[in-house]
Amino acid sequence: MLQKLETLKDVQKSGVVAVVRGATKEEAYKASKACIEGGVKAIELTFTAPHADEIIGDLVEDYKDDKDVVIGAGTVLDPATARLAIIAGAKFVVSPSFSKDVAKLCNLYAIPYMPGCMTPREVQDALSYGSDIVKIFPGSVVGQGMVSALQGPFPQVNIMPTGGVSLENMKEWFDKGVIVVGAGGNLVGPAAKGDFAQVKKNAEAYHAEILKIRE
């Protein structure tokens, strides 16, 4: 259980979780490395990327000596995929929606599970099944007002919005009370064109903004 708490601490410390997809294994791998080199050290490597488990394993090996880097798996839809991710070395698991079966498996292995939720019912289910961080998704649809609305009946909930989070509105999300944000296309989008240098620059900007927010 101490491992789980350490992972949660590392994710929160990063402030930003880079949601990395990719049309190829190489694209997803290089995009992840660019984010880490730019200072965004929490990576959600999604299982929409080819050979996602291999990429996770490679990244875990590459950064095994960097205690600030935390590699997780995203777009995990079922227990089989969750187990594959965990075996590969993923330290946390993220889903676009809540799954009781995935929650149970992650709890079994003391791996933080961050399911996507859109309604109070889904948030309550996620909390009941041990989710320490709830992903509000898509953030662009539910809006920032959802954060304070949820914190009324669920003052204990830790929220990570994903979808619609940008460098420009990130502070607004934190002002509402979220503990970490997930950033996808706005952060890693240039990777689709092979511009990993720009991904690194974007990551540097996100990291600088986090430091500014926390001053």
Domains (ranges, CATH) in the chain? 3-214 (3.20.20.70)
* Of 116, 153, 156, residue with least CA distance to 132: 156
Find the catalytic residue in 4, 44, 91, 200. Answer: 44
Residue 188, CA atoms < 13 Å, CB-side half-sphere:
28
> Global pTM?
0.95
Tell me whether residue 200 is one of the annotated catalytic residues. Answer: no
Mean residue pLDDT across the chain: 96
* Per-residue model confidence as pLDDT tens digits over 4-47: 999 999 999 999 999 999 999 999 999 999 999 999 999 999 99
Asked about 172 being catalytic, the answer comes back as: no
Burial of residue 84 (CB within 10 Å: 0-12, 13-18, 19+) is middle
- Please report the pLDDT score of residue 13 as a whole number: 94
How confident is residue 1, by pLDDT bands cut at 50, 70 and 90? Answer: low
Q: Which of 4, 41, 135, 200 is catalytic?
A: 135
